[in-house]
Amino acid sequence: MTTVNGLPAHVLLVHAVVVLVPLTSLVIVLVAFWPAARRRLAIPAAVLSVVTLVAVPLTTEAGEWLEHRLPESELLRAHTELGDGLLPWAIGLALVGIAVGAREVLANRTARAGEDVPGPRSHARTGERGGRVVSLVLAVLAVVVAVGATVTTYEIGDSGSRAAWTGQFSPTPLQQPGPPRPDDDG
């Protein structure tokens, strides 16, 4: 994908990544820490993490296409180098999202299987030591990956904004021809 309606696809796709990465990070951390959210959002979080993973290389690829059609600059070079660093974080988000979703599916199956067996109820969802260890490991991974992905997204976006806008606007309003506007100080 190179252009959309005459505009470089990168400038449009980047908005999806800027929204999806922090949103996915937030949902995955929420699902990793809060059992009530996990029961409702584990599968949607896994799907969202995969959608985010797909959006990142599409945006990067469109950015590489655009890079070859812009004048070289140190700001652009810095942005493109940072941009290559988001894919590993997106992969991490997807892996944690899928792991949390898979764990919830398995916990539900185990709980349903335990309901069919007379005797003590299954502790798959709330209890066993192994379940708590898995929950703790997933929670820690969720925080690490969410923070890394969000910070990296911010840094890439900041560098891209600087590359696109540095020297492209006036810090003071430009004089426009015609009658003075009511908000002018003149």
- CA separation for the pair 30, 81 (Å, rounded): 31
Q: 9-32 pLDDT, tens per residue?
A: 999 999 999 999 999 999 999 999
pLDDT of residue 122: 44
- CA separation for the pair 26, 139 (Å, rounded): 12
Provide the token pair at 100.
Answer: 């949390």
- CA separation for the pair 100, 41 (Å, rounded): 10
pLDDT of residue 10: 95
DSSP-assigned beta bridge partners for residue 3: 8
**Residue 176: band (very low, low, confident or very high) from pLDDT cuts 50, 70, 90:** confident
Task: Produce one character per residue of 140-163: b if its CB has 16 or more CB atoms within 10 Å, e if not.
Answer: ebbbebbebbbebbebbbebbeeb
Domain ranges, ordered by start, for the chain = 18-53+86-165
> What number of other Cβ atoms are within 10 A of residue 59's Cβ?
25
Phi, psi angle pair for 13, to nearest 5°: -65, -30
Closest CA to 58 of 78, 75, 93, 83: 83
pTM: 0.82
Q: 75-86 pLDDT, tens per residue?
A: 999 999 999 999
Task: Produce one character per residue of 102-135: b if its CB has 16 or more CB atoms within 10 Å, e if not.
Answer: ebbeebeebeeeeeeeeeeebbbbeeeeebeebb
pLDDT of residue 33: 93
Are the CB atoms for 143 and 125 separated by under 8 Å?
A: no
Q: 83-130 pLDDT, tens per residue?
A: 999 999 999 999 999 999 999 988 888 877 766 555 544 444 444 556
pLDDT of residue 180: 64
Look up residue 81 and give its amino acid.
Answer: E
Q: Mean pLDDT across the stretch 26-45?
A: 95
Are the CB atoms for 4 and 132 separated by under 8 Å?
A: no
Angle, to 10 degrees, between the axis of helix 9-33 and the axis of helix 35-67? 160
